[in-house]
Amino acid sequence: MALTIRLTRMGSKKRPFYRLVVLERASRRDGRPLEFLGHYNPMTDPAEIVIDTVNYDKWIKQGAKPSDTVRSLLAKKGA
C-alpha cells in the first residue's frame, strides 16, 4: 500500500482552504483520507499553516511520501 501526504481542497468557490491528509497514492484528490494532519489557509495574510508534526513523522516512518507542495509548505513553516 503506497501512501502519500498531500492537500485536499475544501472551502467555497474562490475561497480555497486545504487540509493536509494521508491517502493511498491511487486515491482521488478528495477521496477518504486515512488521517488528517493539519490545514493550510492561503487566504490569510500571512498564510496559516498548521501541521501535527508528531503524526506527520509517524506516517513518514511508515513509508508515506509527501507531495512536492507539502514539502514546500513544511519548508515555509520551518518544521
What is the reported pLDDT for 16? Answer: 94
Query: Where in the sequence is the domain holding 7, given as residue range(s)?
Result: 3-77
Predicted TM-score (pTM) of the model is 0.86
Per-residue pLDDT tens, the chain, 79 aa: give them.
699 999 999 999 999 999 999 999 887 777 789 999 999 999 998 889 999 999 999 999 999 999 999 999 999 887 5
User: How far apart are the C-alpha atoms of 17 and 21, rounded to whole Å?
Assistant: 13
Write the DSSP symbol of residue 76: H
User: How far apart are the C-alpha atoms of 30 and 28, rounded to whole Å?
Assistant: 6
What is the reported pLDDT for 79? Answer: 54
Q: How many domains does the chain have?
A: 1
What is the reported pLDDT for 29? Answer: 74
Domain holding 19: CATH number? 3.30.1320.10
